[in-house]
Amino acid sequence: MSLVNLHQVHKYYGDHHVLKGIDLDIKAGEVVSIIGKSGSGKSTLLRCINGLEQYQQGGITVDGKEVTTDDIQMRRLALSVGMIFQNFNLFPHMTVGENVMLAPTIVLKKSKAEAEATARAMLEKVGLAEKFDSFPEKLSGGQQQRVAIARALAMSPKVLLCDEITSALDPELVGEVLKVLEQLAKEGITLVLVTHEMNFARDVGSRVVFMHQGKVWEQGDSKTLLSNPQTDELKQFIGAVL
Amino acid sequence: MIEFSNYDILRNLLFATQWTILLSLAAFIGGTTVALTLTALRLTRNPTIQRIVKVYVELFQGTPLLMQMFLCFFGLSMLGYEISAWGAAILSLTFFTSAFLVEIWRGCIDTLPKGQWEASRCLGLSFLQTLRFIILPQAIRVATAPTVGFSVQVIKGTALASVIGFVELTKVGTMLNNATFEPFKIFTLVALIYFVLCYPLSLYSKHLEKKFNVSR
Amino acid sequence: MLYFSDLLQYSDVFLSGLKTTVELTVLTTILGVALGTVCATVRQYGNRASQRVVSVYVELIRNTPFIVQLFFIFFGLPALGMMLSPWQASMIALTINLGAYSAEIIRAGLASISKGQMEAAKVLGLNFRQTLTRVIFIPAFEKIYPALTSQCIIVMLGSAVISQISVQDLTYAANLVQSRNFRAFESYFVTALMYLGLSILLRFAFNALGKRLFAYRTAN
Ligand SMILES: Nc1ncnc2c1ncn2[C@@H]1O[C@H](COP(=O)(O)OP(=O)(O)O)[C@@H](O)[C@H]1O
Ligand SMILES: [Mg+2]
């Protein structure tokens, strides 16, 4: 049973054809790494899955329900799809705890006590329990990104989308974020991540999707694909990043 | 009672507009002159002078323009200095304009990187040379848009001169209103004339700001 | 010679004028900023037509003198059958005036918030209103808080003009006193100082509020 399904998805920005007929099927528990050159449409793909961008043709379903950018749909979708951004996008005027509790209290209408318990548990999971009352700007980039993960997890999403979430971090901070992701993968959370971390894609991911010029150029089991690429484009890409 | 046709009304208002424009120009020129002097004094970095300029700015920004006009007009004449409404209006508008311009220009000069002063002094330029060749050209580029923008406040400020009896656009508006009892029409026209005077300046200021932001 | 002591017997007049000015300032500051916030939101996020409407309002107010706006509302509107007391007319004029200026200021604050904040709220399932009130407004206001403070002070000082439609505010008190004792300089000078005090107080109040609203800046 597929959790996320894309069928012949086309996306245009004006005349610019960005996604050219994407077919993709993701099952619960999979860890899918999307790789590809800058501009190949990876972010756009993720943003279509969670309704941040409108697509023009084809269909996307998450958990069997159609994805649209309609406001109400979008909010229902938010209950099953979590997203983490390259730039964290924490809310600067709220403490770490308030950041994590916000959506559970006002979207899920949880009681404050319940939301706080969830928030503390999620922060514990990402190793930041003691930062509950700190403000985001006092944290390192790696810590901020882990808070963002906790914030997404607090909504207990069915699938977590990550768009180059380690790209804005100093190299020495990348590890702590990847470790959290690896832990989540082990717990069986469905992850779809755009990443340049090839080692992570190979060792933790179950599948790699290579995008090129707005198409899924090649995909397959992560270890097989990365050690034995079929197309010249993927060979070239792997050569360039390694 | 004299009958006023629409033509009469418009003619009277437009005639009065000349005085509004003249007063605005006088206030703007006066204000700019004083503000330039104060800004130059401020650049000497003498703490006493800087404090005096600061008090000047706070005094005139912290009290109503109308009160300043009353003080210049009724206050000075009570103290034995006879002054016309025209003189009092120019005087108070000059204070008002200069106080705001000094502050606006200070902001502009402060946005220039501090390194500019130091680098120029290291190159052996004198204080005046640094000012003339390094600081001023940059500061003027930054300051033009907000200065043009402020000229709109000056024009609007001249309307207060009507209160001390100076016959300009607003005053003629109230006089016509008393004569015709057509407040809606009269004040709509008065407002429109001010708008026609101010809006192009607002637009130009915005345009300059955009141009400046693009070029840097 | 100056005789400031001659003013003492009129302290009641001054105090009652001060009270009116303070009351109107508090009321119109709150209403004006609220109106400005709504207009700024429409201008930033609304559809083309409503953006246009707000722009016209903002530009009309910003490019005409307050005293003309006041006369238009007080003398002009009754001609259309809308009777207003001087106090009501002043309150409306001040609110509309501050609304336009603060709309322009607040919009700049909204524009300064990165798109990412909006998207983060959206993917967490917040609706538009929740996103604005919980996520966008506070950081947006922080960006423009000094400018907003100055504008509110400017409007407070501009309220001196309402004495011209015989609202018994501080300036009205000054006029009254000087017409009784003919000590124009002293009367206006003392009144100017009271306005200066009000400016300082208003700034102080804004700073105190800002410290609470933007505590995250100073927290550790
Ligand atoms: N908001 C937008 N408006 C117009 N073009 C866009 C927009 N966002 C992305 N694009 C274009 O779409 C293409 C794919 O972008 P993106 O999905 O961000 O690629 P990737 O994430 O793989 O680097 C690029 O050519 C980019 O210029
Ligand atoms: Mg991208």
Cα-based distances in Å from A206 to A23, A48, A156: 18, 22, 21
**A137 touches A58 (CB < 8 A):** no
The chains in contact with chain A, meaning 3 or more Cβ pairs closer than 8 Å, are C
For chain B, the domains span 6-215
Contact between chain B and chain A (3 or more Cβ pairs less than 8 Å apart): no
For helices B136-158 and B6-43, the axis angle rounded to 10 degrees is 140
Is the CB of A214 within 6 Å of ligand 1?
no
Check pLDDT > 60 for residue B1.
no
pLDDT value at C220 more than 70: no
Domains annotated on chain C, with CATH: 4-217 (1.10.3720.10)
Write down the CATH number for the domain with range B6-215.
1.10.3720.10
Judge if the beta carbon of residue A18 lies within 6 A of ligand 1: yes
* Alpha helices (H) in A86-192, listed in sequence order: 96-106, 112-125, 141-153, 171-186
Structure tokens at C79: 């001609």
> Is A36 in contact with A218 (CB distance < 8 Å)?
no
The pairing of strands A2-13 and A57-62 is antiparallel
Query: Radius of gyration (Cα) for chain C, nearest Å?
Result: 20
Residue B157 near chain C (CB below 8 Å):
yes
Residue pLDDT, tens place only, C163-180: 999 999 999 999 999 888
Neighbors of chain B with 3 or more C-beta pairs under 8 Å? C
Confidence tier at B212 by pLDDT (50, 70, 90): confident
Please state the ipTM of this predicted complex.
0.93
The pLDDT tens digits of the residues spanning C44-62 come to 999 999 999 999 999 999 9
Measure in Å the smallest separation between the Cα of C186 and chain B Cα atoms: 8
Amino acid at A155: M
**In angstroms, rounded to a whole number, what is the distance separating the alpha carbons of residues B97 and B28?**
7
Supply A237's token pair. 């890409």
Q: Which residues contact A37 (CB under 8 A, 6 or more apart)?
A: A212, A237
User: Ligand 1 test: best mutation among A18, A20, A209, most atoms within 8 Å of CB?
Assistant: A18
Subunit contact C124:A78, Cβ cutoff 8 A:
yes
Mean pLDDT of B104-109: 89
- Note the pLDDT tens digit of each residue in A130-164: 999 999 999 999 999 999 999 999 999 999 999 99
Chain A interface mutation, best of C118, C119, C124, C131, highest count of A Cβ atoms under 10 Å: C124
Q: What is the pTM of this model?
A: 0.92
Interface contact C3, partner B, CB < 8 A? no
**Span B14-40, pLDDT tens digits:** 999 999 999 999 999 999 999 999 998
Q: What share of chain A is helix, strand, coil (3-state, %, to 5)?
A: 40, 25, 35
**Which residues make up the environment of ion ligand 2, defined by Cβ < 5 Å?**
A 43
Name the average pLDDT for chain C. 94
Question: What domains can you pick out in chain A, each with its CATH number?
Answer: 1-80+160-168+192-242 (3.40.50.300)
B148/A75: higher pLDDT: B148
First to last CA, chain B: 62
CB neighbours of residue A199 within 10 Å: 10
